[in-house]
Copies of this chain bind each other. A is one copy, B any other.
């Protein structure tokens, strides 16, 4: 066990130090002069900010890599984040299970766990969360490092600053102060955020959004969601709602959506929408998305057509985002990606057709993010809170 106490603060008290740490965290090992270049700070400022971070053990100097080609002048000393210096927990709460991960400071998953939920009542969920946290804290003891924060991700309208779930349709919650409740129960600092935004933070810091100031993350699956990063910050929306690409209406003649509207992307391309439509079209008794996928892979033309339409809907939705925001990149992810071979072409075609002018230059890429990634996103928000809270 380390001798550090839980109250020990992260030693990045200045914006510069905070920025430097984040830069190193995202961009792997960097020499001090590379840091200076990236952050627009002077080399002197970097030296001064890095020292306390190294002394506190959050950064370490890389041992000289032998593989480095010899260059003129004094060799540079790369610095990197010591992932093992701290641990974090991330929990994604869905309607019927909890997915949890224990990660290190670099947000690498060390342990993953799933627990089914028996009830959606806040109290019952809280109990399950507490149990899961206890379990993972025990695991964490094995690493000899303290867990410094817990991130919780919930779908729906979540107020991160207040730590309150304003409204979650899946859980049927309204105004549940989950952050405070969980903090009291677990004794850990808790960061609560919307699930898609949490995943977006993880992508921004550790994934395909690294270094980009404007990108979008589209998740395809049971619902269609979208996390947006504009001006380098995750968009939260003035009323807590943003990135609702699933309810962008692309066809007035389309199927009715559970939101009451017609032709939402989600009413065409979400797993339930696809399954339902395949049932209608083929008459087959398709149980779930897996069965639907199997049917389409078996070559059923009706099923394939449904997937094709879904792809076109997603492509149009993405084009809408591109037309409005002009992001540098769009990352497509989610469980629905399992069907990617069935609608990739349609996504691409619909996007290309509907994107206006140079908005079409936007780089659209796919990235399979296993379900644990959502929990990892929650952990990323905890890391974010930990490394910036004291630095405001």
Q: How many residues of A contact B (CB 8 A)?
A: 50
Minimal beta-carbon separation of A197 from chain B (angstroms):
12
Given contact pairs A237-B326, A249-B354, A261-B356, enumerate 12 new A-B contacts (beta carbons under 8 Å): A167-B358, A230-B231, A239-B362, A241-B326, A242-B326, A244-B356, A244-B357, A245-B323, A248-B324, A251-B252, A260-B353, A261-B354
Q: Is the CB of A357 within 8 A of B249?
A: no
Q: Is the CB of A251 within 8 A of B248?
A: no
A358 to B192, CA, bound (A): 19
Contacts of A319 in B (CB 8 A): 249
Minimal beta-carbon separation of A166 from chain B (angstroms):
8
Q: Pick the contact of A244 from B212, B260, B359 — CB < 8 Å?
A: B359
Q: Is the CB of B235 within 8 A of A320?
A: no
Interface: A259 (CB within 8 A): yes
Q: Is the CB of A357 within 8 A of B241?
A: yes
Q: Is the CB of A325 within 8 A of B250?
A: no
User: A233 and B236 in contact (CB under 8 A), knowing A242-B326, A243-B324, A320-B320?
Assistant: no
Give the number of copies in the complex: 2
A316-330 contacts to B, CB under 8 A, are 316, 319-321, 323-328
Interface: A361 (CB within 8 A): yes
A357 to B246, CA, bound (A): 12
Contacts of A362 in B (CB 8 A): 238-239
Interface: A228 (CB within 8 A): yes
Contacts of A250 in B (CB 8 A): 249-250, 252
Q: Is the CB of B233 within 8 A of A325?
A: no
Q: Is the CB of B320 within 8 A of A356?
A: no
Q: Is the CB of B233 within 8 A of A214?
A: no
Interface: A104 (CB within 8 A): no
Give per-residue flags for A300-338: 1 if the beta carbon is below 8 A from chain B beta carbons, else 0. Answer: 000000000000000010011101111110000000000
A231-283 contacts to B, CB under 8 A, are 231, 233, 235-245, 247-253, 259-261
Minimal beta-carbon separation of A254 from chain B (angstroms):
9
Interface: A81 (CB within 8 A): no
Minimal beta-carbon separation of A135 from chain B (angstroms):
35
